[in-house]
Amino acid sequence: AAMRETELKRTKTVCTYCGVGCSFEMWTRDRELLKVQPQPEAPANGISTCIKGKFGWGHINSEHRLTKPLIRENGAFREAEWDEAYALIARRFGEIKAEHGPDALAFIASSKCSNEEGYLMQKFARAVMGTNNIDNCSRYCQAPATESLWRTVGYGADTGSIADLEASELLIIVGSNTAESHPVIATRMKRAAKLRGQKHLVADLRKNEMAQRADMFIKPEPGTDMIWLNAVARTIIEMGRADDQFIKDNAENYDDYVASLEGFTMEFAEQRCGLSRDQLDRVVDMVLEAKTICGVWAMGVTQHTMGADTATALCNLLLVTGNFGKFGTGGYPMRGHNNVQGASDMGCMPDRFPGYDFISDDTVRVRYEDAWGVELPTGKGLNNHEMVSTIHDGDLKSLYVVGEDMGIVDSDALHVQSAFEKLDFMVVQDMFFSRTCEYADVVLPASPSVEKEGTFTNTERRIQRLYEVFPPLGDSRPDWRIHTELARAMGADWAYGHPSEIFDEMASLADMFAGANYDALEGFKSQQWPVAADGTSQANLYSDGQFHFDSGRARFHPVHWNEPTDQPDEEFDLHLNNGRLLEHFHEGNLTDETAGIVFKIERSFVEVSPELAAERGVKAGSIVRLVSRRGAIKVSVEVTDRVQGRQMYMPMHGKKNIEAINVLTSFESDKDTDTPAYKELAVKMEVLSVE
Ligand code: SF4
């Protein structure tokens, strides 16, 4: 027994699955994961985890892992050594840059990678290749939320901590399937409701678990949240119940905002949102009764053509009622991937350096030019969505995608796939041979979170360290190492030997992280940004009454209503919504490797209401073809009253064209941020077999 004890290794890591940022120990022996052991000192989760964090680690030793670089030759892939792969990439990137200029290349960073890896990815794009064509998957999800917070309060992130969510008297939860997408935060919300009488107002198309438990559940028509949010704000102002003192002391542009609300009457909200006057009055009462309110939202708000404006309407309502700055208040977009916050924080964006400094700011750019010893590009680069269009236009020739299965998770997947076919040269870096790899010229085998050191930043801006649990499998390598070696192959003098050196460089350049360092993040310790040079940070961003603008005051931002796109008509007569499953992570590349999870959720399905099932003669297990204005898929039916009438719901789980929701979704996008309008989708349903 003594011998077995010495073989056991305990390593702290951070979950790779969602923005809650649960941390825990992994108990291992050699390459075997014996158990995931939560620790009370874990700042985001204590002793809680969900099924994915506890059990979803089948990917680590999966036989499907890529362990060798792959090079396409005569239409097929062959294994290669790293040096050969690097040399090929360096040559082709160099040729394309020489022939078409640096902006003919583009880079997609991964929100599953560490901060250090994100930092290197943008440095590679900017300093080595000379382009600002870099983006990350927040473009698919919360970019509109970030925009709404930038506009109104100044920082593009959750304004407080999970502790604020727990302490609040009222949570307004809009378009967030919190119990499945952010399970451990949902547990803390449920506990606050049970133990402290916290109230939950849930607005969603689907009666998800949070809706079932809510004090009040409203189901506005798809894409109309802006209207009821504005109508509630307008009513509160008309009643003389706005927090005038807060507004006078802390905010500007109020008069313009009040004027912009003119058309947002309760009558308009009743008529267009399909809500009753009683429901709307009750919402007003709940808002007025609560001394502290947090607004919580996710993709049900953002993935619309009016995504940023709808999130802004919620931020405006929080300002009207004085709900920023105090403990238990603020705006909380729930970040999806484990490090989607960090990917943007690290400057994997077409217009920002690390810490959100603008590339157009000459002083900042010179600081980076001096540190990196190169001249940097000045023009705003392409975002993810624009990259796809620019490939179709013929002006973007090469794409380097890290850890994102763009070919199946980007909206209008067939349009994205046909763009990939037009590329001159494509590099994909991943752990598995994803759908996107099929279009690559070179595939680089990357290591998962447990095979590297680094940091992740969770939804509450909390930076946490992860330690190497296992050495990289086979010939796979951590992404930071791949970036470093590839940069060297292209002639750069990168010499990073450990992620802490990357982090220190980043912190020396980005003011937002001035006082952040690995010592302060040792073990289960964490820091929430911004971290001042003296190491202090603010858990609730505006607790000092200073908003992140030159004036120190928050800004009301008027928004205007437009109808959603891709609406149902006579032919495409059903609305199809989509979202996450508790058990699976997104398309499933990681979680499909855990047998227990696959056993529980074997394949994708569409939720159909009992009314619609009766009308169309389908039942549980029937196979249907769903057809949109762009494509068609085949799925099995689940009949449930979580959805109603002609609205259906499908998980985003699915890796093949025949089953993936994004074969159906459109290329329309948020007018301000280009986040695809995944949630604006009309389909028709053809019954293939009833059994
Ligand atoms: Fe991982 Fe999120 Fe589950 Fe926590 S709640 S264990 S971070 S998937």
Q: Which tens digits make up the pLDDT trace of 187-207?
A: 999 999 999 999 999 999 999
**Atom nearest to 44 CA in ligand 1:** 4
Place of tokens 């809500």: 275
Handedness of CA 342, 322, 162, 59 (dihedral sign): negative
Kindly list the distances between the CA atom of residue 337 and the CA atoms of 218, 293, 443, 452, in Å, as whole numbers in the listed order.
27, 25, 22, 17
* 249 or 3, greater pLDDT: 249
Q: Is domain 70-139+338-460+473-516 given the CATH code 3.40.50.740 in the classification? A: yes
Length of the chain: 691
**What is the C-alpha separation between 50 and 161, in angstroms, rounded?**
19
Ligand 1 contact, 36 CB (< 6 A): no
β-bridge partners, 466:
454
Give the number of other Cβ atoms within 10 Å of residue 419's Cβ.
23
Exposure letters 662-686 (e unless 16+ CB within 10 A, then b): bbbbbbbbbbbbbbbbbbbbbbbbe
ipTM of the complex: 0.99
pLDDT of amino acid 5: 56
**What is the C-alpha separation between 409 and 633, in angstroms, rounded?**
15
**What is the C-alpha separation between 631 and 567, in angstroms, rounded?**
16
Domain spans, the chain: 70-139+338-460+473-516, 143-334, 574-689
Whether the per-residue pLDDT at 637 is higher than 70: the answer is yes
CATH code, residues 143-334: 3.40.228.10
CATH code, residues 574-689: 2.40.40.20
SS (H, E, C) 388-443: HHHHHHCCCCEEEEECCCHHHHCCCHHHHHHHHHHCCEEEEEECCCCCHHHHCCEE
Q: How far is the CA of 386 from the centre of ligand 1 (A)?
A: 32
**Atom nearest to 14 CA in ligand 1:** 7
**What is the C-alpha separation between 48 and 689, in angstroms, rounded?**
42
Ligand 1 contact, 260 CB (< 6 A): no
- Assign 1 a pLDDT band (cuts: 50, 70, 90): very low
- Assign 352 a pLDDT band (cuts: 50, 70, 90): very high
Beta strands in 284-395 (DSSP E): 293-297, 330-333
**What is the C-alpha separation between 318 and 311, in angstroms, rounded?**
11
3-state secondary structure at position 211: helix
Q: How far is the CA of 460 from the centre of ligand 1 (A)?
A: 14
**What is the C-alpha separation between 237 and 259, in angstroms, rounded?**
11
Q: How far is the CA of 190 from the centre of ligand 1 (A)?
A: 16
Residue type, position 635, single letter: V
**What is the C-alpha separation between 175 and 217, in angstroms, rounded?**
12
Ligand 1 contact, 53 CB (< 6 A): yes
Contact 594, 191 (CB under 8 A): no
For residue range 91-129, what is the model confidence (pLDDT) as tens digits?
999 999 999 999 999 999 999 999 999 999 999 999 999
Cut 0.90: pTM above it: yes
**Atom nearest to 585 CA in ligand 1:** 8
**Atom nearest to 185 CA in ligand 1:** 5
Beta strands in 501-604 (DSSP E): 526-528, 554-555, 574-579
Ligand 1 contact, 336 CB (< 6 A): no
For residue range 218-269, what is the model confidence (pLDDT) as tens digits?
999 999 999 999 999 999 999 999 999 999 999 999 999 999 999 999 999 9
Contact 180, 208 (CB under 8 A): yes
How high does pLDDT run on average in the chain?
95
